[in-house]
Chain A
Amino acid sequence: SQTIHQWPATLVQPVGSPLSLECTVEGTSNPNLYWYRQAAGRGLQLLFYSVGIGQISSEVPQNLSASRPQDRQFILSSKKLLLSDSGFYLCAWSGQGRIQYFGAGTRLSVL
């Protein structure tokens, strides 16, 4: 069966520090991969999605970037964190069936 792993679960970082969040999927090949951010107030905002290795689409201009170095690995990065980058970051995958499956999320606090 397919599983999605996301880490770390929580992270506290100072303003101006770099960021690297990792997401990996097991049990499937060539998944579509997504990064979402959920700020206080509930809504989920799609940040990036990828349909293949090295193929990244950005949905909103921001301080973040994404990379897909391997088929089932998706990384969210920042060179210098801002206070406004705080939030709950969720990784998801989908296959041909279109249903999206989410990881457990990373709670990021930038102080």
Chain B
Amino acid sequence: GIQVEQSPPDLILQEGANSTLRCNFSDSVNNLQWFHQNPWGQLINLFYIPSGTKQNGRLSATTVATERYSLLYISSSQTTDSGVYFCAVGGGSNYKLTFGKGTLLTVNP
């Protein structure tokens, strides 16, 4: 199956700093999603981005499918950005996703 690696595993920032999270995957995909899991466990979809670039407020994401990686950018981080960020990928005709192990982001005031 597809392997998904996320880096860094842990990241500590001061409020206002910028960060880049990376997701590498081992095979071609037609489905790539970024999720944020808050401290209460709720998973929220941030981006559906199998290729290209998208932006939503302070967050943006870029996927370079030919090179098998995706990046999530967080600008001007806030304490509410804390949590675990997951990259999940899928290929083929089904809608299954394989999740990476996540990046634990801590934003300190």
Interface: B13 (CB within 8 A): no
**Residue among A43, A45, A90, A107 with the highest chain B CB neighbour number at 10 A:** A43
Number of B interface residues at 8 Å Cβ cutoff, please give it.
Answer: 24
Complex Cα distance A80/B100, Å?
30
Q: B17 in the interface, Cβ–Cβ < 8 Å?
A: no
Selecting from A18-26, A62-70, A71-79, A95-103, the interface stretch reads: A95-103
Among B48, B96, B101, B104, the residue within 8 A (CB) of A99 is B48
Q: Is the beta-carbon distance between A43 and B41 smaller than 8 angstroms?
A: no
B45–A46 CB distance below 8 A: no
Determine the main DSSP class of A at the interface with B. strand
Interface pair A32/B95, CB less than 8 Å apart: yes
Number of A-B contacts (CB under 8 A): 55
Is A100 within 8 A of B45, CB to CB? yes
Q: Which of B42, B43, B96, B102 has the most CB of A within 10 A?
A: B43
A46 near B48: Cβ-Cβ < 8 Å? no
Q: Is B86 an interface residue (CB 8 A)?
A: yes
Once bound together, how far apart are the Cα atoms of A92 and B88, in whole Å?
Answer: 13
Given contacts A42-B84, A44-B86, contact A101 B45 (CB under 8 A): yes
20 contacts between A and B (CB under 8 A): A38-B41, A42-B104, A43-B99, A43-B101, A44-B86, A45-B99, A46-B98, A88-B41, A98-B31, A98-B95, A100-B33, A100-B45, A100-B88, A100-B97, A102-B42, A104-B40, A104-B42, A105-B41, A105-B42, A107-B41
